[in-house]
Structure 1
Amino acid sequence: MRKTRLGAISAILVGLCYFFTVILVLLAPPGENAVVDHITHMEKLMAVHYILGFLGVLGIMVVLTISRTLEKQTAGSEWYPYSKVMAIIGFALLAINNFRQTGLDHELSHEAIHASGAVLDAVVIGWVGLVEFSPQGWIDFGFVGIWILTVSVFSLKLHNRKLLSYLGYLGGSCFIVTVLGNVTGLSFLVMIGMGLGGLVVVPAWFIYYGVLLLKKPLLPTDLSTNTEI
């Protein structure tokens, strides 16, 4: 029997982390600028960074687990290995970026407020470039969204998990819509992508996948069948 307990628990935790991250962000509404926001809502935003940092680490474990359970189905796929690496890069960047910000945002925002004047203006203008590695979400949201869509194709076709696959199609699409919203500046796309995807669908997909793996880990024979596991 293939052991999936660690990856399954990680998947459930990833889903919960996405959910609580969006809740915390909603509890920290944007104000005058990013520097003021990080003074006003420092505790909530720091909690977001820690949660996303650990989410990134757990996400790598989930990608490896799900990929291992699909290895026979995806053995002939040229695309799946690329999407797997993209997801690992996306989760790794998410972890690096947010753990970095736990040690940067607090100091930078307070120093900017203390300095005021031209220094404050410069930090406000350049905040995203100073603290973000993927400001538009191409890597941490786009790459992960593409992988979720890819996994869902194989889940629907080979495992007959229709609900799980449909959740994956919707969740992966929401992440991509979030990126498009950031790129185009259309805030309603970001609201749809993160409100529907980050708060509901993507957490549900990860939690559902984790529960299925906990209930019945994949057997070697399951990997070549189309039955529900």
Structure 2
Amino acid sequence: MELSNLSLFALAALIMVLTPGPNMVYLISRSLCQGPKAGLVSLVGVVMGFVLHMLMAAFGISAFFLAVPIAYDALRFAGAGYLLWLAWQAIRPGSKGAFEVKDLKADSSFRLVWMGFLTNALNPKIAIFYISIFTQFLDPENASVFAQSITLGIVQISISAAVNATIVFSAALVYSFFNRKPTWTKIQKWVMASSLSGLALKLAVEERK
């Protein structure tokens, strides 16, 4: 895969993991209620969920591209539209911030992993990412779609795991900061919305090489 294409995908994966969603809310809530160790154990389950999404996408997308070669453009525009929808969700009236968390009771390690896995496996944000945005970085004429899918999946999982681990360890500090300075919550939402919109525009207008 071309380095420029892989770099753009890494940026997309980074923006997606920084966008508030079920995984982030669950890991922050768990870390605040039960400590960083519980947050990391929960992250193991979340990563397992990513692996499930990756494998399903790798097998499904490979078959799809072989059956419908013109699907690339359709998925490209669908992915751009989804990014714009996420941008709107970040700034729409009444939208919640990443650190508006839930109170959770203490759970065993097994349950922490299981709940982390379910939270991610049933996460529509990740499912749509792998179906629509993920496919825009694949080139059926360049190499095996399956091999490219696995490569992109490993990049996405590595970035998500690293960012989420950082969030787990800094959850208490960042939670306190955003609650004391609500203006920064609004800034975070607009920065995220702008990043998502810019990425959507780039992906929509950029033709496949």
Same fold per superposition (TM over 0.5): no
- Taking CA–CA contacts closer than 8 Å with sequence separation of 6 or more, which of the two structures ends up with the larger relative contact order? 2
Which protein is bigger by CA-based radius of gyration?
1
Q: TM-score, normalised by structure 1?
A: 0.30
Q: TM-score, normalised by structure 2?
A: 0.32
